[in-house]
Structure 1
Amino acid sequence: MKFTKIPLATINRLSVYLRVLEDLLEDNTDVISSERLARHCGVNPAQIRKDLAYFGEFGVRGVGYRVVDLISQIKEILGLNRTWNLAMVGVGNLGSALIRHGNFIKHGYVFAAAFDIDPEKVGKKLPNGLIINHVDELEEVVKERNIHIGVIATPASAAQSVANQLILAGINGILNFAPVQIQVPDCCHVENIDFTIKLDSIAYHLSTNF
């Protein structure tokens, strides 16, 4: 399913809606109104209706949304009605923690490969059963295991080089945890995750309260 000119903020909110809906389903909620869903998501009902309207008609007027149906529809919109194979590059403290995090598998993201350059790490088995490969094997392993998304958790100095390797291996989606903005061609989508930027935002809001 492909849609054009959808605001990034809308895509981000769809992910929030999905997480909330999945929690509601676990609590045996069958039907929910846009007003109640909005309260759970921290937005207003009009925003939810506007976001969903980009993709068609959902729910029943005066009744609300069937939770299981809306979950299915949002997953289809986001491309989450399938499994996505991930490759971790950089198996230090952060990389190891991310691989162990069960939330990835819960949402259909599976770490299918891991790479490092440290000879003390290469060849070792991770708790999930993965064997750490040397980064020199990246292109071969990526193709063998049908990797879709690369995750970078290397030092900043190595991040751009790793991104280049991932792109050459055919990876067009990168999640970058290294504290540097990497550059990629237009065919590739990269999300840079810098925790200090988020902390800066928190510090700003705390400072304005004094």
Structure 2
Amino acid sequence: MKGFKIPEATISRLSVYSRYLENLYRKGITTVSSADIAQGVGVTSAQVRKDLAYFGEFGTRGVGYNVKELLDHTLKILGLNTTWNMVVVGAGNLGSALCAYRGFRERGFYIVGVFDNDLTKIGKKINEYEVLPIDKLEEVIRENNVEIGIIAVPAAYAQDVATRLVKAGVKGILNFAPTVLNVPDKIIVRSVDLTVNLEVLSFNIRRD
């Protein structure tokens, strides 16, 4: 896979395929066709075959794909055949909601620390997580081999948090702050701006 760029849309669809395959596997279904996958996730069968072709040859013509084998392949490609430790910086409403989301653990992502600089929040618990002072951020990252940091702070503080995450050894950042982060090229950043997504929705609704 190294040496050429995989479209991000393909990676996103691969995640959807893996969830669909997990559902089939739980139901005891052993074989699936590209047409079945396409119908189940809302794309074309040609798109399914094209996406999978980026990563090798799967399935048998006229028979389809072995569900367990294809599921294992997709999980490995997505890096979900292992576990990932994460930290959440920001214990406000958004940070609290992220800590309560059980879907992270189901996919192998584990929160090992929640941080804030608000003295009224430090020491309190969000679900099973005790809110720690931001001064302990680097220590927790290094002791737990954390590779992913989630930023859930106001935009004005996001860059400082990102800089600390990078210096502590984090390799990827999921950024919920509505701002662009300045980080080294080797750091992977995914930004989720909820307002932008709502504005895209409003534009398309108005357009229709």
2:136 paired residue number: 137
**Does residue 1:65 correspond to 2:69, yes or no?**
no
1:97 paired residue number: 97
Distance in structure 2 (CA, Å) of the matches to 1:200 and 1:29: 40
Q: Which runs of 4+ in 1 moved over 3 A?
A: 1-4
- What whole-Å deviation, never above 9, does each CA across 1:25-56 have from its counterpart, x for those lacking one? 22332211100110111111111111111111
Q: So what's the TM-score if we normalise by structure 1?
A: 0.94
1:4 shift after superposition: 3.2
**Counterpart contact for 1:3–1:55, Cα < 8 Å:** no
**Does residue 1:162 correspond to 2:144, yes or no?**
no
- CA-based RMSD of the aligned residues comes to 1.3
1:179 shift after superposition: 1.6
In the alignment, residue 41 of structure 1 is paired with which amino acid? V
| Identical columns (%) | 49
1:125 shift after superposition: 2.9
In the alignment, residue 201 of structure 2 is paired with which amino acid? I
Q: Is there any run of 5+ residues in structure 2 with no aligned partner, and where? A: none
- 1:1-210 equivalences under 5 Å are 2=2, 4-128=4-128, 130-209=129-208
Q: How many residues are treated as equivalent by the alignment? A: 208
1:126 shift after superposition: 2.9
Q: Is there any run of 5+ residues in structure 1 with no aligned partner, and where? A: none
**Counterpart contact for 1:125–1:131, Cα < 8 Å:** yes
Deviation larger for 99-108 or 177-186: 177-186
SS of the equivalent of 2:130 reads coil
